[in-house]
Amino acid sequence: MDTATPTITKASRMIKRGELTPIELLETSLARIKQFEPEVAAWVTIDEVGARATAKKLTEEAVKGRIRSPLHGITVGVKDIFYTRGLQTTMGSPLYTGYVPDFDATVVAQLRELGAIILGKTHTTEFASHDPAPTRNPWNITHTPGGSSSGSAAAVAAGMISLAIGTQTGGSVIRPAAYCGIVGVKPTYDLLSRDGIYPLSWSLDHVGLFTRNVEDAAIALSALTDQKAPHSLKSPPRIGIPDRFFNEKTDRDSSEGYTKAVGLLERTGAKIIPFKLPNSFDLAPSVHRVIMSAEAATIHERLFKTRADGYRPYIRGQVVSGLQINATTYIKAQRIAGRYRKDFEEAIKPFDAVATPSTTSSAPKGLEWTGDPALNSPWSLAGFPTITIPTNLSDKGLPLGLQLASPSETDSALFSVARWCEGKLNFRDSPVTTQ
């Protein structure tokens, strides 16, 4: 019998009909956590007392017919760089152990108002950079779940919760979602508020969502914004395929998985159209690196002066290198980024979506590295919305994903394409370690 927490779509319908209470849904999540958390290690903090008090209140409201939103009673995991009132927020760093904010990040406050139950804080890499969290991939606990939103992705994949929030500066939503075989959404830059989140890079940080299917992600994003619910496509989508870079970066498993997925979409009606990436695209990786390093150094400069020994190797190196970047270099990088966004948007405008592999490989073995964000960073630099949906399994039995993207502020239309593709790809596998 499947003991996983039900999807948002299913749970929301059952709560509205009185077939399930928020209290019962919470207990399902807690039982699932108790069963699989020792191996997966998705959570820094679990707020059982606070969650039960909230569930009791929401159940009383539901009994009286008051349903705040489709997220009423839904259990949520929050990446541990979002400030949470009265709940420890560590940033994945020993420097913040025991730090308890007295206010909520805007997105957390929105979730509470919508009737979601904040169950606890999920593991992040240190300061949302690359130094790994202890979290393991539910598909195979000897492999990374990806980062930096490691715990958020793993908790959803393991069926502990139906919704988690995270952030992406390079590839920190799309990559872990793909590695863990779930849906990850990085909306248009600033569509979801970054207020009350410990930043890594102001120009590049995005708030993102993790769910088990596209419909759940659409429900969550619609509740948090004024975005319209995605419509059903009247005709198969026009999908652009980049002429270079993305498939060149992948290993055999990822390349073959991508080719199979695109082939299936084409056979079922999608118009697959190759296109040429703009010349400015070639500068994207170095421009992204300059902006992220310079802004990270600015954010950490004061603390780093007195507590450098408290930083782990990667974030320490990132701050040190960022402090060497002068204002002229940073300003040039931002100007190039502006031109790149315009060129890139023009190149992909003719399509309903662009499709690439989500990651360069399936989840790497070992917990010392969270994987390569090379296929995600170009979209983070552009600020365009992206969605990853699971497609198939690699030869190692690990999930692979398809990354779909479109121009800024076309999130709802992108969801429509993603939902169409999800239906054709029909991925039904789940982690054997949590069955």
pLDDT, tens digit, 9 for 90 and up, residues 127-175: 999 999 999 999 999 999 999 999 999 999 999 999 999 999 999 999 9
**What mean pLDDT, rounded, does the chain reach?**
97
pLDDT beyond 90 at 242: yes
Could you give the CA distance from residue 192 to residue 401 in angstroms, rounded to a whole number? 24
pLDDT beyond 80 at 122: yes
CATH code for the domain defined by 13-435: 3.90.1300.10
Parse the chain into domains and list their residue ranges. Answer: 13-435
Contact indicator for 77, 119 with CB cutoff of 8 Å = yes
Residues 6+ apart with CB under 8 A from 53: none
pLDDT band per the 50, 70, 90 thresholds, residue 59: very high
Q: What's the one-letter identity of residue 100?
A: V
Phi and psi torsions of 31, nearest 5°: -65, -40
* Bridge partners of residue 75, in order along the sequence: 117
Could you give the CA distance from residue 28 to residue 178 in angstroms, rounded to a whole number? 25
Contact indicator for 128, 173 with CB cutoff of 8 Å = no
Q: State residue 434's pLDDT score.
A: 75
Residue among 379, 418, 385, 377 at smallest CA distance from 190: 385
| Mean pLDDT of the 4-24 span | 98
Residue 333, both tokens: 């990088």
Q: State residue 230's pLDDT score.
A: 84
Residue 179, both tokens: 């590695």
pLDDT band per the 50, 70, 90 thresholds, residue 203: very high
Q: State residue 227's pLDDT score.
A: 78
Q: State residue 231's pLDDT score.
A: 86
Q: How would you classify residue 244: left for phi > 0, otherwise alpha for psi between -120 and 50, otherwise beta?
A: beta
pLDDT beyond 80 at 232: yes
pLDDT beyond 90 at 204: yes
pLDDT band per the 50, 70, 90 thresholds, residue 226: confident
Q: State residue 2's pLDDT score.
A: 73
Residue 99, both tokens: 């730090």
> How far is the CA of 179 from the CAs of 19, 188, 429, in angstroms?
34, 22, 13
* Bridge partners of residue 388, in order along the sequence: 184, 403
pLDDT, tens digit, 9 for 90 and up, residues 185-202: 999 999 999 999 999 999
pLDDT band per the 50, 70, 90 thresholds, residue 85: very high
Burial environment of residue 29 by CB neighbours within 10 A (0 to 12, 13 to 18, 19 or more): buried
Could you give the CA distance from residue 318 to residue 126 in angstroms, rounded to a whole number? 12
Q: What's the one-letter identity of residue 379?
A: W
pLDDT band per the 50, 70, 90 thresholds, residue 51: very high
What is the model's pTM? Answer: 0.98
What pairing do the DSSP bridges indicate for beta strands 271-275 and 117-122?
unpaired
| Mean pLDDT of the 353-367 span | 98
Residue 214, both tokens: 């596209």
Contact indicator for 75, 54 with CB cutoff of 8 Å = no
Residue among 403, 399, 374 at smallest CA distance from 386: 403
pLDDT, tens digit, 9 for 90 and up, residues 296-343: 999 999 999 999 999 999 999 999 999 999 999 999 999 999 999 999
Contact indicator for 353, 379 with CB cutoff of 8 Å = no
Residues 6+ apart with CB under 8 A from 299: 199, 200, 201
| Mean pLDDT of the 272-288 span | 97
Residue 20, both tokens: 């399930």
- Find the helix or strand (DSSP H, E) in which 220 lies: helix 214-224
Q: What percent of the chain has pLDDT over 70?
A: 100
Q: State residue 426's pLDDT score.
A: 97
What pairing do the DSSP bridges indicate for beta strands 353-357 and 399-405?
antiparallel
Residue among 144, 150, 145, 185 at smallest CA distance from 376: 185
pLDDT band per the 50, 70, 90 thresholds, residue 229: confident
Active-site annotation, residues: 79, 148, 172
Could you give the CA distance from residue 290 to residue 322 in angstroms, rounded to a whole number? 7
